[in-house]
Structure 1
Amino acid sequence: MELTDQQFKYVSDLVRREAAIVMPVGKEYLVESRLRPLVRKGGHGSITDLLNAAQGLGTAANGVRKQIVESLTINETSWFRDREPFAALIDVVLPALLKDVPARPIRIWSAASSSGQEAYSIAIQLDKTLPPGRDFQIFASDLSVEMVERTRAGVYNQLEINRGLPASDMVKYFERKGADWQVVDRLRRKVTVQQLNLSHPLPPMQPFDVVFLRNVLIYFSPETKRQILTRIRKILRPGGWLQLGAAETTVGIDSTFERIPVGRTAIYRAPIASRLPVKEVTAC
């Protein structure tokens, strides 16, 4: 392995400082595998040269540091990943929203959406499930500027398309773009995309009915998890819904969320009252 202990410590400290992500000892091979593409892309001779460039001064060094942080926050993704959260959305969450929410657009946030498959999977599911005339809005965010741009473009190669996307959905919601596939315009218009660091205070946002925050909290310290869940709770509408990853929970971190088992997964509901009102704004 090329990465030294001192270099791993530098990278783990950088990622913790910039993104509040904990990178424990034992993740050296992951770090090295994520840095190698940056070495090739930046024309560096080695990982050592890359890290030396990151430790310099000025705009160029800052750019390298940003690339390193973003490379270590890109997670595995696919269409309708894990299926159970989408079943819970259809079987429990949407019926409750259609019953309790006035006839306004349903707002869902796909946080840490990587290259956009989760956000567009949600959009496809809503387009197929909501009654005629019922609108929706999806807000997708990620720390990586590259992933934000990919989500906004909505373009995927054949290998990415094959990872979990039913053929019927490909025919209905995608069109050819050269050798790749692009999400059709009418669906892309439903998805707003923004670069956002979850470990920092949130910008002004309209309240959401549902937040997908899946496979994200596992990378943070207990205190950072608590801070993120508090921010999420404050931008959820009263009684709003939170979907976490299978290995994540609010239990023992934020007791105000109600855990509701659904099949082999669980969803979490924000308190219906007893929270500060969120001012409606036009951002996001």
Structure 2
Amino acid sequence: MGSGYYRYLRNLLKDRSGLILTPEKNYLIDTRLAPLARKRGYQTIADMVQNLTAYPDEALTVEIVEAMNTHESSFFRDREPFDLFKSTILPQLLQRRADKRHIRVWCAACSSGQEPYSLAMIVKGEAAKLAGWKVDIVATDISHSVLARAALGRYSQFEIQRGLPVNLLVKHFTQDGDDWRVNDDVRKMVTFKPFNLLHECDGLGQFDLVFCRNVMIYFDLETKSRVLASISKVLHKDGVLFLGSAESTMGLTEDFGPVQAGRGAYKHTNGPPCLVEI
């Protein structure tokens, strides 16, 4: 099928995950899908795609999408959102949710789990203040395989060294061979579940805080707007949305506006004072 399989795969990725690949990025298809093609018994990616178009295979389609999506993460990545959560958002939640004593956080596109575990360690450190409270940290990703790895909470020495303070390593991790595992008390604080950001997120419930960082940079403008509209429905009116440092809501939605307190933090434009506004 010549080089037409590139176009087929680019369209497939956009439809299934929102990922936009330009022809200049065809090399990513070559490097990420060649191992999958070999594993599936095909000599080339073109052969795999040709067979897929003739005999639709949902399992293979899912594997292709998962292989092509970037799974990059680190502990306390871009430290500012985590500092803001600990210093301002969590104290505000203790005041504003005192009647319910229930806090819900959503980490969208959580990849291998470092982001939700970073939040869980902060919550664990404030355990005395949160006695009698319920804190839900829901972490989602489109990839079932990366979620399975995240749920194990096992990380290499290289991954540990990327952003994790030594005192938290000693306190919350146990060495397992050459790797490190998150201790069960922290690991069980996070609920991992598969979710595609292209779908409506009403079924996930309402949240006080949403982390959706460094994923929408891969979407086109229409998809970004749709995702933000969906998030606005599940974020409490005084809640905070964190996007990546290279991401913005400008020109995409009127639902959210930036918060002065922190880079990458957004609030409902027509809501009450948000959790970082004291």
Name the TM tier (shorter chain). 0.7 to 0.9
Distance 1:266 1:153 in 2: 29
Q: Secondary structure at the match of 2:6?
A: helix
Residue matched to 2:276 = none
Paired residue total: 268
Q: Which of 108, 111, 115 lines up with 1:114 in the alignment?
A: 111
Any conservation in 1 of the 2:157–2:180 contact (CA below 8 Å)?
yes
CA distance in 2, matches of 1:34, 1:179: 26
Structure-2 residue corresponding to 1:267: 265
Residue of structure 2 in register with 1:280 after alignment: none
- Give CA-to-partner distance per residue, 1:173-219, whole Å, 9 cap, x none: 11233442221111111111111110012252221100000011112
How far did residue 132 of structure 1 move? 4.5
| 2:70 counterpart letter in structure 1 | I
User: Counterpart amino acid of 2:103?
Assistant: I
Q: Which residue of 2 aligns with 1:190?
A: 189
- Specify the SS of the correspondent of 1:26: helix
Query: Helix, strand or coil for the counterpart of 2:204?
Result: coil
CA deviation map 1:66-102 (0-9, x unaligned) = 1111112233111111112212222332232223222
The whole-number CA distance in structure 1 between the counterparts of 2:244 and 2:116 is 15
TM-score by length of 1: 0.86
* Aligned 8 A contact 2:105 2:207 in 1: yes
The within-5 A match list for 1:146-157 is 146-157=145-156
Distance in 2 (CA, whole Å) between partners of 1:28 and 1:4 is: 14
Tell me by how many angstroms 1:42 deviates: 3.1
1:253 counterpart letter in structure 2: L
Q: 1:99 to 1:8 in 2, by over 3 A?
A: same
Amino acid in the other structure paired with 1:153? L
Residue in structure 1 matched with residue 124 of structure 2 by the alignment? 127
Matching residue of 2:102: 105
Q: Would you say 1:45 and 2:43 are equivalent positions?
A: yes
Unmatched runs of 5 consecutive residues or more in structure 2: 273-278
* Alpha-carbon distance between aligned partners in 2 of 1:63 and 1:156, rounded to the nearest angstrom: 27
Q: Quick check: 1:84 aligned with 2:80? A: yes
The RMSD of aligned alpha carbons is 2.2
Contact preservation (8 Å) 1:124, 1:173: yes
Residue range with higher mean Cα deviation, 113-122 or 201-210: 201-210
Q: Shift in Å at residue 10 of structure 1?
A: 1.3
TM-score of the pair, normalised by structure 2:
0.88
- Secondary structure of the corresponding residue to residue 264 of structure 2: strand
Aligned to 2:275: none
**Identical counterparts, % of pairs:** 37
Q: Alpha carbons of 1:187 and 1:69: their partners in 2 closer, same or farther (altered >3 Å)? A: same
Deviations 1:87-121 (A, max 9, x none): 22223322322232225132110000011111111
